[in-house]
Structure 1
Amino acid sequence: MTARKNLKTIFTLLPYLWEFKVRVVLALSLLVLAKLANVSVPLVLKEIVDSLNQPQAMLTLPAFLLFGYGLLRLGSTLFGELRDAVFAKVTQRAIRRVANQVFTHLHALSLRFHLERQTGGVSRDIERGTRGISFLLNFMLFNILPTMLEIGLVMAILVNQYDIAFAAVILITLLAYIILTLVVTEWRMIFRRTMNTMDSKANTQAIDSLLNYETVKYFGNEAWESKRYDEHLQTWEKAAIRNQTSLAALNSGQSVIIAVGITLLMFLAADHVIHGTMTIGDLVLVNTYLLQLYMPLHFLGFVYREIKHSLADMERMFSLLDENREIRDKPDARKLDALNPAIRFDHVNFSYDTNRQILFDVSFEIRSGQTIAVVGQSGSGKSTLARLLFRFYDIQSGSIRIDDQDIRDVTQQSLRAAMGIVPQDTVLFNDSIYYNIAYGRPNASPDEIYAAAKSAQIHDFIKSLPDQYETIVGERGLKLSGGEKQRVAIARTILKNPAILIFDEATSALDSNSEKQIQTELKRIAENRTTLIIAHRLSTVADADQILVMEKGRIIERGRHTQLLAANRTYAHMWALQQRRQTISANPDNDWQTPSLPSVDKS
């Protein structure tokens, strides 16, 4: 199973390599030339030694051989450097393509995946995986293959020129070395996988803790967070120690095998010299080949281990590509026509999980240019309507239509381009205010961005800052207050200029005075647009064309504000309760006079 996964991982990379087929072929050709030059060096050295190992009267300077020896030494190095230079673009482009493909795929996955994911672990998996690609391509192509090629050439030369015993000793040494390396490395992989898992968990916990820095401080849980982090590091430490000690044992075993092989070969060579069947040059040649093979063989164990580690790292990254894209465009999906967008929910049933249904037979219509408000207690399913409109999830039954087009039949890009939302929980990018507003339409001009900020009543505040529009908002916008973040979100949506507007508790973070100003502006930008308002404060939706009251995933009332008050049901009771709370808030000293509310102990 593991071997099949490794092969799948390797084959996944082939299309990225073949994009530069000329470079790949040229790099492999340079690889062969480098090894041919390297193998030829001992042959020339043998001739030089034999030429110089003559009686004084016959001694001549082998200038041609010395010159050739220098060229071959230079060639073995130069061809290797040229190979690396030629292949560099192939490696870096493959890393770029794969990383971007994973990143793009992550954005294509459903909201369900992103609600369940751990950002720190995912980012670390991508980081290690892309690093593994670089190692795999460079070392597998330029260390494993050249080493095997060099061993084959050396064995062919020894068999051709000398006793077959030389090749037999090298072959047995090589097999023993490879078997030991394979067996021990497979056993050691469990430690590496444990290290990777604990590394990802520790990174996830650390990022999560730092993102929630204020919460940690509020509850004084710094020591608790450090303890949790250290628990992951402790498991990682144990695996790392076992990994290192097992590596020392493997290296020792490899050294023993190489030492035995070298000793046997030297005994054979010395015996042949004594009996006159080999010259001193032959002894130097065999010894040089042994030295040339020793380092690649010793390095082969390291390379194989690291390739296995790289495959394990890449396996985790490529597993992200195997994540199912729950929401997909149909092959024949067309662009949404949103010139006069009317929205229709028709008998919609939806559940996040099979055992927990959220919406039950929800039906309503928002005519083009009309404003519909949805109110209800927390957990009644109000915000789910917005998520379904954006098609973050697909419904189980019923249909959602815009201009009589089922949103499952149109492209997601065109669907979301037609809608703008001001969410209840505004999260900003850790960049400038200018960037965050411009995110609504990245190609907008500065004047358009400033106009959007003025419409959202935040332009004067931004101009009062030392860095004005270049002010960095911090992680998730934490340097701004809740109201300031919400104004930026409103400006961003105004800039997008969508045909359909969704306000999900859009003024929940604003004070009463600011809320009135923003409400006036929201009404202005909602004119002639199809608008869905999800609200908790009923005073903000009293002017809506229709109000839907939701409870436990069902619409239990619908009508205009005055009609719902006259019906004297759930909406009327919610309105009375909120009015009472506003009265108490405005006159806190009189709260004891309200018999329907619990008294406050002022002692």
Structure 2
Amino acid sequence: MASIKVRRLSLRVLWQKIRPSSLWDWSLRFWFSFIFLVVESVTSVATPWLFSRMVGRLSGHEAVMAAIMALLAQYTLLRMMGAVAGPVRSLIMVPVRATLRERISLLGLEHVHSLGARFHEGRQTGALTRILDRGADAASTIVDMIFSNVLPNLLGLGLTFLVVLRVFSGLYLVLLCGTMLLYGGVSFLFTRWRMRARRERNRANGNAHRHLVDSLLNADIVRAFGNAGHERRRQEESWKELRRAEIRLQTLIGSSQAIRNIIISLATASLLGLAVLDIHAGRIGVAQFVLMGTYLRSVYASVGALNYVGAGWRNARVDMEAYLELMALEPEIRSSAVPVPLPAGQAGGVTLEMRHVSFGYDPERLILRDVSFRLEAGRMLAVVGRSGSGKSTLARLVSRLYDPLAGEVLMEGVALPALSLETLRAQIGVVAQDTSLFNATVGENIAYGRIGASREAVRQAAEAAQLGAFIDRLPEGLDTLVGERGVRLSGGERQRMAIARVILRNPRLLVLDEATSALDTRTEEAIQQELLALSAGRTTVVIAHRLSTIQQADHILVMDGGEVVEEGTHHELMEKAGIYAGMWRLQAGGGSVGGHSDVEG
């Protein structure tokens, strides 16, 4: 997400994305909430005034009991109305806040999944989850502040000022407004400082969380290298940085509160002193003095709450900055604005073609150079070569995880960018060397290949991938949890589950990126038979380092340095006595060519 110029999605555009198709329900809730808000504000201002009238009656020379009881009844009724209006108003807005948070979170999740492989290869999972959570929380907080803080306090202050102006002189109102301006100025200054401190605290918090998640995800490596102490020290440095940022933030918060409390204390003394002078001069009574004291507390509470809103708004905006930056990222791989329908072709497979394709993750360092081939529907293409020769990169371009820098990849004669991503991905099933599993059950992981598949279909796919005996040994069978990233399974078991997932998907184009590299020889031979059966009649691209597994391929590409250096069938390449034949002899003699990884290629 780092770039020379950081872009952020505006809140207006974000609202256009998350607003419901029909605002009728939300509008009704807003209006009913406002009505209860007015009732709550009127009662909160009127009850002190009624209370002061009761005090005036009780302290008068003739206390008329009937009038006092009438005032008491009115006071009780207002208190009850205010007590009910507040909770009802909050309940009315609960679905709006919850729906808004849900929409923000789902929009972020959908956007993250729309971003390309380049983004996901460089992402930090822990920091990304924090961005999504903070964005959703901040949006909900803003709505909550508006309806639970801003509007109630503004209405309360307006009504209070009207009463003060009517009961007291204009000088009281001038002192109150002057105090509010001074209070607001100090709050604004400190809030700006706190924003910077909060942003720094959030950054330190994200780093600490990222280090922690990274350490836990790689717990096996930490234990294997005996680096638990190093991980503790690294996390300790992160916590120290977070502690310093937190102390600075809390220092600013405490200083701001102290200064604002001093302002309130001086203003209160001045206003009450003015009221004492007016009582001495006979312009007001003791009841009005009590009313002024009550309203002072109410005004300062409202001003403090509004200051919290200002700080809360800025804090929420800081929390949403990373979310808005994430949402502003443009997907590298997009569906065509006017997608071309995929020709029907053969029932079992699709034609696949590369024309003079060149590609590099860094344009200055090409991984593939001028690669071309044509694979007819239902045929098998094998790609072999040393590690870093471009084999897996070729598979990523076929799946359109990336687009070529030059040349084009075609399916059924249509360039991949002209197809919708949904159409393209529906044709492809991939079994990669590194298997990804959800922290779910065995059955759910296999069923991910075809959402909604029956339990019987899932079981058949598992049997085809040689998982039947393994599942029978599990305590809960298909309902057994595999753990995070499948940590409870061996590498071979994870890979067989990935194969079962693709068997269930039944794609027209099968991409096997060293799909059996984690299996023992006996299991590999059994699964190879299933993969051969699965690939029959459908187009298959096989990335392999074990040459014995691709002898049945219709065409073989030999990659070296990102280029196709040899191609043909197994027998043709053996007769050439070139690179492929040398690799074959090396493996037949017990050597290894290419390794099990293709980080660069």
On whether the aligned pair clears a TM of 0.5, the verdict is yes
Figure out how many residues of one structure are paired with residues of the other and give that number: 583
Residue pairs, 1:391-470, within 5 angstroms: 391-470=400-479
**Separation (CA, whole Å) in 2 of partners of 1:531 and 1:15:** 44
Q: 2:453 & 2:506 partners in 1: Cα distance?
A: 11
Q: Distance in 1 between matches of 2:591 and 2:176?
A: 91
Give the match for residue 373 of structure 1: 382
Q: Distance in 1 between matches of 2:279 and 2:110?
A: 66
How has the CA–CA distance of structure 1 residues 280 and 57 changed in structure 2, closer, same or farther, with 3 Å as cutoff?
A: closer
Deviation per CA, 1:8-36, whole angstroms, max 9, x where unpaired? 87898777995611111221222122111
TM-score (norm 1): 0.93
In 2 relative to 1, CA 5–417 (structure 1 residues): closer, same or farther, beyond 3 Å?
closer
Q: 1:129 aligns with which of 125, 135, 147?
A: 135
Q: How many angstroms apart in 1 are the aligned matches of 2:325 and 2:575?
A: 58
Aligned to 1:173: 179
Give me the whole-angstrom Cα distance separating, in 1, the residues matched to 2:513 and 2:428. Answer: 13
Distance in 2 (alpha carbons) for counterparts of 1:131 and 1:482: 38
Q: Which of the numbers 556, 565, 570 marks the counterpart of 2:565?
A: 556
Alignment gaps of 5+ in structure 1: 584-603
**Against the structure 1 CA distance between its residues 491 and 14, is the aligned structure 2 distance closer, same or farther, given a 3 Å change threshold?**
closer
Whole-angstrom distance in 1 between the partners of 2:69 and 2:99 = 46
User: Partner of 1:547 in structure 2?
Assistant: 556
Retained in 2: the 8 A contact 1:177–1:254? yes
Question: CA distance change for structure 1 residues 566 and 550 in 2, over 3 Å: closer, same or farther?
Answer: same
**2:588 corresponding residue in structure 1:** 579
Residue in 2 aligned with 1:151? 157
How far apart in 1 are the matches of 2:503 and 2:393? Answer: 23
Change (3 A) 1:75 1:16: farther
Closer, same or farther: CA 8–145 of 1 in aligned 2, 3 Å: farther
Match of 1:119 among 122, 125, 143: 125
Q: 2:170 aligns with which of 164, 171, 184?
A: 164
SS at match of 1:357: coil
Match in the other structure for 1:475: 484
Alignment partner, residue 509 of structure 2? 500
Percent identity for Structure 1 against Structure 2: 36
Compared CA separation, residues 7 and 375, structure 1 to 2 (3 A): closer
Matches within 5 A, 1:198-237: 198-237=204-243
2:45 counterpart (39, 44, 51)? 39
Which residues in structure 2 correspond to 1:55-134 (within 5 Å)?
Answer: 55-56=61-62, 60-134=66-140
- TM-score, with structure 2 as normaliser: 0.93
1:577 partner amino acid = L
Distance 1:538 1:4 in 2: 50
Cα distance 1:535–1:12, how it changes in 2: closer, same or farther (>3 A)? closer
Per-residue deviation, 1:313 = 0.8
Shift of 1:89: 0.7
- Using the TM superposition, give the Cα deviation of residue 63 of structure 1 relative to its aligned residue in structure 2, in angstroms: 2.0
Alpha carbons 2:9, 2:328 under 8 Å: kept? no
Mapped to 2, the partners of 1:243 and 1:411 lie a distance apart of 49
Looking at structure 2, the residues matched to 500 and 77 of structure 1 have their Cα atoms a distance apart, in angstroms, of 66
Task: Report the counterpart of residue 511 of structure 1 in structure 2.
Answer: 520
Tell me, yes or no, if the aligned pair for 2:57 and 2:63 is still in contact at 8 Å: no
The farther-off stretch of 258-267 and 55-64 is 55-64
| SS of match in other structure, 1:120 | helix
Match of 1:587 in 2: none
Mapped contact 1:17–1:90 kept (Cα < 8 A) = no
Q: Matches of residues 336-347 of structure 1 in structure 2 within 5 Å?
A: 336-337=342-343, 339-340=345-346, 341-347=350-356
Deviation of 1:59 after TM superposition, in Å, equals: 6.0
Q: Is the 8 A contact 1:358 1:553 kept in 2?
A: yes
Is contact 2:492–2:518 with CA below 8 Å preserved after alignment?
Answer: yes
When residues 10 and 44 of structure 1 are mapped into structure 2, their CA distance, relative to the original with a 3 A threshold, is farther
Matching residue's letter, 1:367:
E
Cα distance per residue 1:253-296 (max 9 Å; x no partner): 11111111111111111211211111222222222211222322
- For 1:529, which of 527, 533, 538 is the aligned residue? 538
SS of structure 2 residue aligned to 1:284: helix
CA distance in 1, matches of 2:559, 2:162: 83
User: SS of 2:564's equivalent?
Assistant: strand
Preserved CA contact (<8 Å) 1:211 1:475: no
Q: Which amino acid aligns with 2:326?
A: L
Counterpart amino acid of 1:293?
A: V
Pair 1:52-2:58 in alignment: yes
Could you say what secondary structure the match of 1:352 adopts? coil
